[in-house]
């Protein structure tokens, strides 16, 4: 499971995979790299870290090019929303059942649809 590091949850990352959306101070980054199993970051963040840190932790750093906001809902909620939609429920009914706003349910379903289209494009290429 990936944990999004927001600057205050250092203890929660012990042995986890961490996504680092923004650059942090060198001391904080080295602590994250020591504690975490793997640290993912966008190319813009990777370019800002020092060459020495990159070389020292090359096996623990992965560059990911993610666009948009990172997910704020756990995978179980997203899977539940997708399953309920496949069963034929409306967005409004799904929102009531899951306890999310209907705009959030719509956003999740739209993102899932776009990801499926992108996966097909990648397979065709």
CATH, domain 75-124, list 1.10.3470, 1.10.10, 3.80.10, 3.30.310 = 1.10.10
Question: Which of 34, 44, 40 shows the shortest CA–CA distance to 14?
Answer: 34
Per domain, the residue ranges of the chain are 2-63, 75-124
How many alpha carbons fall within 13 Å on the CB side of residue 102? 6
Angle at 18 between CA 22 and CA 56, to 5 degrees: 80
pLDDT digit string (tens) for the chain, length 125 residues: 466 666 666 666 777 788 888 888 888 888 888 888 888 888 888 888 888 888 888 888 888 765 555 567 777 888 899 899 999 999 999 999 998 899 989 988 988 888 776 544 544 44
């Amino acid at each position: 499971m990936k944990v999004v590091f927001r600057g205050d949850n250092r203890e929660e990352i012990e042995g986890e995979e961490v996504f680092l959306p923004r650059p942090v101070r060198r001391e904080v980054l080295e602590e994250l790299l020591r504690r975490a199993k793997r640290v993912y970051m966008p190319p813009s963040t990777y370019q800002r870290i020092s060459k020495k840190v990159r070389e020292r932790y090359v096996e623990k750093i992965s560059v990911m090019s993610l666009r948009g906001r990172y997910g704020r809902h756990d995978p179980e909620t997203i899977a539940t929303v997708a399953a309920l939609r496949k069963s034929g429920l409306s967005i409004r009914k799904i929102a009531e059942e899951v306890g999310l706003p209907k705009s959030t349910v719509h956003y999740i379903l739209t993102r899932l649809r776009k990801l499926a289209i992108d996966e097909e494009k990648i397979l065709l290429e």
